[in-house]
Structure 1
Amino acid sequence: MVWIPQIADLVDRIGAADLADALRDPASATVPVALDDPEAGRISGVAVLAAWLEVQDTWRAEHKVDIEEVATTIGARRAVGEWIVHLEGPDGERAGVPVAVAVDPASKLPVRIHHSRWPLLGRHVVRRPMLEPDPAVHASDVVGAYTAALDAGDTAAVVAAFGPDGSFRGPSEETYRHAGPEELTELYDALFAAGGGIPLKLCTVTEDGTRSAFEYICDRWGDADLPPQPGLAVCTRGGDGLILSARMYDDVEGPVE
């Protein structure tokens, strides 16, 4: 349940002014608008969207929300925005929820919100996929090597895709960041301990030359079949062409954590 008002600004940046206006004021919508949220699910229709956005305004105020921008990836067809939503939990402690949003004006589902429920609930929640895998979609260069190494469960190949200062952040906040070859090796050895790799079925890839953002379906982890679940990852390349940072946004609960 995390709506970020800056999403409308991101929509404006890719020239979809009608969609941006509809997100700011659903009553004035001149184009169909639909979005998918990890808690609420599919939201469409002027009245439903307007009511949901009003609830979101109240929720942000009650939880003293501050929104930190992380990065924006703008490609030829879509854009991906990343933020960390800092909020006050029920115990009064501040928490951070990493959120990524894919904005895809040509899609029947033009706004797709990705984040884990773990920082909010202390548990994962299985979520239905928003897109179908597309066999024609492939990640390029080092990002393609990284996803292939994930599929194969090859720790050495995964770590080789990262630069010497490369880091990985999972779908929780910065306390779950792993940096450098030693920490990355320990992380991926643990993730692959379930008997194999983590194949990701790609749905979209958005490239801007520096960052590669890809939406995916995960339905297998090692030897375990999982309910098909959606996610989004963003890899940033460093000056050496290797991965400087990788950030994941999903709620996949695998056989290991």
Structure 2
Amino acid sequence: MVWIPQIPDLVDRLGGADLAHALRDPLSATVPVALDDPEAGRISGVGVLAAWLAVQDTWRAEHKVEIEEVVTTFGERRAVGEWVVHLEGPEGARVGLPVAAVVDPAAPLPVRIHHSRRPLLGRHVVRRPVLRPDPGLRLSGAAGAYKAAVDAGVTEAVVALFAPDGTFRGPTGDGRRSVGAKELTELYDSLFAAGGGIPLKLCTVTEDGTRSAFEYVCDRWGGVELPPQPGLAVCTRGGDGLITSVRVYDDVQAPAR
């Protein structure tokens, strides 16, 4: 349960002033408001949202939360914000939880939050899909090639798309950060060890020429069928078109080997 208070600011920047006001003060809302959170699920209605936000305020204070902004990707009608939430974890130690939020004011579900619950609970939690896949969606440039290589499970093809100092950060934070060809090769060999790739079904694509952020549903890992689960990844390209970073936000657990 991680609410980012900066989310209404992104709504404002997209021209959704009424929605931004509703997210800041639900009891005075003049428009319908809904969001989806990894723990609470679908939240709609001003009373429910107001109560949830009040719980969030208490939770942030109790866990001594500090929010570090990473970057925001703005598309034509949608924005994807990324943060690292620093807080006291289950054992009292400070942890850094990567959190992303998709702000989509024109959509029936205008705010969609993505993060793993493992840093908070010590385990993954299956989450139902947030959106339906759209078979017509495509990613541009190296991001599209990256998704195709991950879908197919070809380590060499994936690593070849990264810059020499390119990085991958998993959903549980810097403890899952891999840098450079050697570490990336070891990572993707491990990810594809279940006997194939990880086909991701695109739900939304938000691109700004440098970053490609995409929401997806994952229902297969190698040869293993999984319960359909949502996630989000952000792929950043350098001036040469190579990938400088990939950051993933989901709670999908690799199948046992």
Please tell me the TM-score bracket, short chain as reference.
over 0.9
Q: Take 1:157 and 1:29, find their aligned partners in 2: how far apart are those partners?
A: 49
Instruction: Establish whether residue 131 from structure 1 lines up as the match of residue 127 from structure 2.
Output: no
Q: Contact conserved, 1:190 with 1:256, CA < 8 A, in 2?
A: no
Residue 228 of structure 1 corresponds to which residue in structure 2? Answer: 228
Partner of 2:211: 211
Tell whether the 8 Å contact from 1:38 to 1:113 is kept in structure 2 after alignment: yes
Structure 1 segments, 4+ long, off by >4 Å, are none
Counterpart amino acid of 1:214?
F
TM-score (norm 2): 0.98
What amino acid does structure 2 have at the position aligned with 1:6? Q
The 3-state SS of whatever aligns with 1:133 is coil
> Aligned to 2:83, what secondary structure does the other structure show?
strand
Unmatched 5+ stretches in structure 2: none
State the alpha-carbon separation in 2 of the partners of residues 133 and 110 from structure 1. Answer: 17
Partner of 1:44: 44
Percent identity over the alignment is 77
Residue 19 of structure 1 corresponds to 19
Tell me, yes or no, if structure 1 residue 149 matches structure 2 residue 138.
no
SS of 2:233's equivalent?
Answer: strand
Write the letter of the residue equivalent to 1:220.
R
SS at the partner of 2:192? helix
Two-structure CA RMSD over aligned residues (Å): 0.9
Matched-pair contact (CA < 8 Å) for 2:90–2:121: no
Distance 2:187 2:65 in 1: 31
Which amino acid in structure 1 is aligned with residue 5 of structure 2?
A: P
Q: Counterpart amino acid of 1:170?
A: G
Structure 1 stretches lacking a partner, 5+ long: none
SS at match of 1:136: coil
Q: What is aligned with 1:193?
A: 193
Matching residue's letter, 2:184: L
SS in 2 for 1:150: helix
C-alpha distance 90-121 of structure 1, shift in aligned 2 (>3 A) = closer
Residue 43 (structure 1) shift = 0.3
Counterpart CA distance in 2 for 1:253 and 1:176 is 14
TM-fit CA distance, 1:92: 2.1
After TM superposition, give the deviation of residue 89 of structure 1 in Å. Answer: 2.1
**What residue identity is the alignment partner of 2:106?**
A
Aligned length: 257
Distance in 2 (CA, whole Å) between partners of 1:175 and 1:227 is: 26
- Contact 1:104–1:111 at 8 Å: present in 2 too? yes
Q: Name the CA distance, whole Å, in 1 between partners of 2:41 and 2:179.
A: 34
Alignment match, 2:178: 178
1:108-142: CA deviation from partner (whole Å, max 9, x where unpaired): 10000000001001100000001000011111110
